[in-house]
């Protein structure tokens, strides 16, 4: 077995720590690029969304390096993400690649026994015993939480930093350094060090940057290539951002769904406008917008892939939320044809609007 994964933000770092801990052979595909998108778009149905196409591109890159197994998380619907693996297996077989898929559906769908059976298959080719495998899994989850915390701190502190660009530089250094480390415990130690370093970044108490919440479909808000590195762009302009959806949040949310205790704050906030589960993370998107207004954020940017039905429903609700909660919202829809110039122009226009709006409010006061 030589295992590979599709990219989703910083998940590849946690996955590497897991595979190193299990002692199994693996391939981490190159970070998403136009080449991956081109290959994925070439072999995917035209109407499929951007995440699906990039995943196909990731698999093909892994296959070139000898991968024969894919580890993929999934869902049981109603979002079509739950059917990704079935269609992707067929596409790869048509291309002559007989890949094995280990699909980790939510425990509430599979049952605890089947979920654990699939999890065991991940480390079945490694030399580790059960306790060592559990330790490797715990290390990977700890790494995921640490990376998410470092990223969250960097994105927020970027608007207040004394030396512009320091948070972005530190975040980039963290990703590169930890990924190059082949020892799980040392990688965790590095993450703990970077967490301390990002909290030590000197801030200017007199700065009052714009504060923007990044909301929308989970893949496109987490995977930077799909949103044209929007968080980096906003960091460069001295804007603080928040993003509730992270890989570690997703893991916790899936586990808490077994006892119906997942995302209570977000779902409660969204209940006035979207009380029903329509798939994807539409309810979370609406809830995030409402919490952004409560937390006095300057605005929110919704991002989702073309054709994502749950987010289209959320998009139709957000104007009402914007009007009633006094929160400006910009919606960005992305696909393989998204033009960078027009995309960036819309972001710049939105941030200019927020600046003028803040100045107008201050004058009014």
pTM score = 0.94
Whether 2-126 shares its CATH topology with 209-365 is answered yes
Range of weakest confidence among 106-120, 298-312, 329-343: 106-120
Non-local (6+) Cβ contacts of 233 within 8 A are 344, 347
At 228-243, the pLDDT tens digits run: 999 999 999 999 999 9
Helices 247-256 and 130-157: crossing angle in degrees, nearest 10, is 120
State the average pLDDT for the chain: 92
Q: What single-letter DSSP state applies at residue 82?
A: G
User: May I ask the CATH class of domain 2-126?
Assistant: alpha beta
Q: What is the pLDDT of residue 77?
A: 66
- Structure tokens belonging to residue 328: 């400006």
Domain positions in the chain are 2-126, 130-157+160-208, 209-365
| Mean pLDDT computed over 198-208 | 94
| Mean pLDDT computed over 40-54 | 93
| Mean pLDDT computed over 213-239 | 96
Give the CA angle between residues 251, 285, 6 to the nearest 5°.
45
Q: How far is residue 176's CA from residue 161's CA, in Å, rounded to a whole number?
A: 22
Whether residue 156 contacts residue 240, with contact meaning beta carbons closer than 8 Å, is answered with yes
Assess if CATH 3.20.20.300 describes domain 209-365: no
| Mean pLDDT computed over 108-116 | 81
Range of weakest confidence among 6-20, 99-113, 174-188, 341-355: 99-113
At 253-279, the pLDDT tens digits run: 887 777 777 778 899 999 999 998 888
Given pLDDT bands bounded at 50, 70 and 90, which one contains residue 360? confident
Given pLDDT bands bounded at 50, 70 and 90, which one contains residue 363? low
């Amino acid at each position: 077995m030589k295992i590979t994964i599709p990219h989703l933000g910083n998940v590849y770092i946690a996955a590497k720590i897991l595979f190193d801990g299990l002692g199994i052979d693996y391939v981490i595909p190159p970070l998403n690029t136009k080449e991956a998108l081109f290959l994925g778009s070439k072999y995917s149905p035209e109407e499929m969304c951007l995440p699906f196409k990039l995943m196909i591109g990731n698999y093909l890159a892994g296959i070139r390096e000898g991968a024969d197994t894919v580890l993929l998380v999934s869902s049981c619907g109603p979002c079509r993400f739950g059917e990704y693996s079935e269609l992707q297996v067929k596409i790869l077989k048509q291309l002559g690649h007989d890949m094995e898929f280990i699909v980790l559906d939510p425990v509430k769908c599979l049952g605890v026994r089947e979920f654990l059976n699939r999890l065991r298959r991940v480390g079945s080719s490694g030399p580790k015993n059960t306790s060592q495998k559990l330790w490797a899994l715990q290390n990977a989850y700890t790494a995921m939480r640490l990376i998410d915390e470092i990223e969250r701190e960097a994105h927020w502190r970027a608007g207040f930093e004394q030396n512009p660009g320091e948070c972005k530089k530190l975040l980039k250094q963290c990703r590169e350094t930890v990924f190059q480390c082949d020892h799980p415990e040392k990688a965790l130690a590095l993450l703990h060090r970077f967490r301390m370093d990002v909290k030590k970044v000197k801030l200017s108490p007199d700065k009052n940057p714009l504060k923007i919440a990044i909301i929308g479909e989970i893949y496109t808000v987490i995977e930077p290539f799909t949103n044209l590195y929007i968080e980096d762009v906003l960091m460069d302009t001295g804007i603080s951002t928040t993003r509730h959806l992270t890989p570690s949040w997703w893991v916790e949310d899936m586990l808490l769904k077994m006892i119906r205790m997942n995302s209570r704050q977000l779902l409660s906030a969204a209940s006035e406008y979207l009380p029903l589960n329509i798939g994807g993370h539409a309810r979370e998107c609406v809830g995030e917008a409402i919490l952004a207004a409560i937390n006095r954020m300057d605005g929110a940017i919704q991002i989702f892939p073309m054709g994502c039905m749950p987010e289209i429903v959320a998009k139709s609700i957000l104007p009402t939320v914007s009007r009633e909660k006094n929160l400006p919202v910009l919606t960005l829809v992305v696909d393989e044809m998204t033009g960078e110039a027009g995309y960036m122009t819309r972001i710049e226009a939105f941030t200019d609007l927020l600046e003028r709006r803040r100045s107008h409010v201050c004058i009014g006061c």
